[in-house]
Amino acid sequence: MGEKRFMKGNEAIAEAAVRGGCRFFAGYPITPQNEIPEYLSWRLPEVGGAYVQGESEVASVNMVYGASAMGVRAMTSSSGPGISLKAEGISYLAAAALPAVIVNISRGGPGLGSIQPAQSDYLQATKALGHGGFHCMVFAPASAQEAVDVLYDAWDYAERDRNPVLVLMDGCLGNIMEEVELPPMKELHDEDLPEWSLTRRNGRDWQGNITPIYTEPILEGLNAMAGEMYKGWEEDDVKVETFMTEDAEYVVVAYGIAARVAKEAVLTLRAEGVKIGLIRPITLFPYPKAAIRDLDYTQVKGIIDIEMTVPAQMREDIELQVMGRCPVYEYGRSGGCLLDDDGVLEAIREVLEGGEA
């Protein structure tokens, strides 16, 4: 059994990152993720790591670029507007084939928006994290424990692919207090540093070259290799929870905090005899297409997309897999207005009764 603690989600993320090998963090304050850098400001020095509060989000993400190039497990975190400012640097990380972990504890938008929780950054995370047509694996945990598990393993994916990894959560999950079981500290050794890193440690000669700038034929080839990597993710790395979908006539699709609220509604309706289930994407990219595409549409009468944003941003990905075989409905709250059990349950009942949520 691992060590159990009662922790705020943001602090649990930070501790899991340290235990997963993070030894460098650079960031800039923004609500609702401020507990992550605050925690790491004292925790990283305890394990020989480094914490830097950059003068801006732009500076911070480029510090992560430099640390990653040296083979250090490096991380940054922010919320929607800050992620927008980091977008160029994230694209440069992808171009230079550098692993890094980026955490977005999202808030209401667009613009500066609201400091309250929201799920308004789905499209940013999955479709437009930066210029140039690259992708990152995007994880969307639904509890503090799942966030711990994701952060602990995030660098394994990032280093395997030499590509940034994004963890997308909202302010509810960032600030919720839950019991978590913490994993052991991963042992890091100089001899485990990647061969491509530019470090001089361990007597290594500095002979490497890391760049995000290439001539046209090389860049096209690298983009083609990235495309094959993305296909590999779809084959091997999709993570999804399916709940009571075997006999379902209606299926709710939701992720993160919205999925927790939606699951309570599903349980309530099941107790009333309604055949309803839930699909919860855990990876938003690669998206769990098969879980929706392969439903039995001879029995499924409708899909209900529940999100904490208006209009729903995941709906297009759902509709691409439904392919017109049943109606797709949506219900959400936006701008920092939270989903609640009664609102979600009422919206689903409207669909069941023949109305549009």
**Domain assignment of residue 185, yes or no:** yes
The per-residue pLDDT for 190 is 74
Please give the mean pLDDT across all residues of the chain.
94
Q: How many CA atoms lie within 13 A of 226 on its CB side?
A: 21
One domain for residues 227 and 346:
no
Side chain identity at 326, as an amino acid letter?
C
Distance CA 36, CA 196 (A): 29
One domain for residues 124 and 226:
yes
Note whether 288 and 259 are within 8 A (CB). Answer: no
Tally of structural domains, the chain = 2
- Residue 161 belongs to domain with CATH number: 3.40.50.970
The backbone torsions φ and ψ at residue 312, rounded to the nearest 5 degrees and listed phi first, read: -60, 135
Q: What is the pLDDT of residues 308-333, one digit of tens each?
A: 999 999 999 999 999 999 999 999 99
- Residue 307 belongs to domain with CATH number: 3.40.50.920
The per-residue pLDDT for 163 is 97
**Domain assignment of residue 44, yes or no:** yes
The per-residue pLDDT for 207 is 59
| 178, burial (CB in 10 Å: exposed 0-12, middle 13-18, buried 19+) | middle
Instruction: Decide which of 18 and 2 is more confident.
Output: 18
One domain for residues 224 and 200:
yes
| 198, burial (CB in 10 Å: exposed 0-12, middle 13-18, buried 19+) | middle
Q: Assign 41 to helix, strand or coil.
A: helix
Q: What is the pLDDT of residues 43-75, one digit of tens each?
A: 999 999 999 999 999 999 999 999 999 999 999
Instruction: Decide which of 211 and 261 is more confident.
Output: 261
Quick one: average pLDDT of 221-241? Answer: 96
**Domain assignment of residue 101, yes or no:** yes
Note whether 15 and 40 are within 8 A (CB). Answer: no
The per-residue pLDDT for 197 is 84
One domain for residues 190 and 326:
no
42's enclosing H/E stretch is helix 35-46
The per-residue pLDDT for 194 is 83
Note whether 90 and 125 are within 8 A (CB). Answer: no
CA 148 to chain centre: 12
One domain for residues 287 and 232:
no
One domain for residues 301 and 201:
no
**Domain assignment of residue 281, yes or no:** yes
Last residue of a domain, one of 236, 253, 284: 236
One domain for residues 284 and 343:
yes
Task: Assess whether pLDDT exceeds 70 at residue 357.
Answer: no
One domain for residues 82 and 108:
yes
One domain for residues 167 and 194:
yes
> If pLDDT is split at 50, 70 and 90, which confidence band does 200 have?
low
Last residue of a domain, one of 236, 258, 273: 236
Note whether 87 and 35 are within 8 A (CB). Answer: no
Quick one: average pLDDT of 161-165? Answer: 97
Task: Assess whether pLDDT exceeds 80 at residue 191.
Answer: no
Last residue of a domain, one of 169, 201, 236: 236
Lookup: tokens for 155: 């660098």
Lookup: tokens for 199: 């470090």
One domain for residues 227 and 268:
no
**Domain assignment of residue 357, yes or no:** no
Which residue segment(s) compose the domain that 254 sits in?
Answer: 240-352
Range from 91-100, 201-210, 309-318 carrying the lowest mean pLDDT: 201-210
Note whether 199 and 68 are within 8 A (CB). Answer: no
**Domain assignment of residue 165, yes or no:** yes
**Domain assignment of residue 150, yes or no:** yes
Percent of the chain with pLDDT over 90: 87
One domain for residues 11 and 108:
yes
Nearest to 140 by CA among 173, 170, 167: 167
One domain for residues 26 and 113:
yes
Task: Assess whether pLDDT exceeds 90 at residue 210.
Answer: no
> If pLDDT is split at 50, 70 and 90, which confidence band does 2 have?
confident
259-262: long-range contacts, CB 8 A cutoff, minimum separation 24: 259/142, 259/306, 260/142, 260/143, 261/306, 261/339, 261/340, 261/341, 261/344, 262/306, 262/344
Distance CA 225, CA 286 (A): 16
**Domain assignment of residue 187, yes or no:** yes
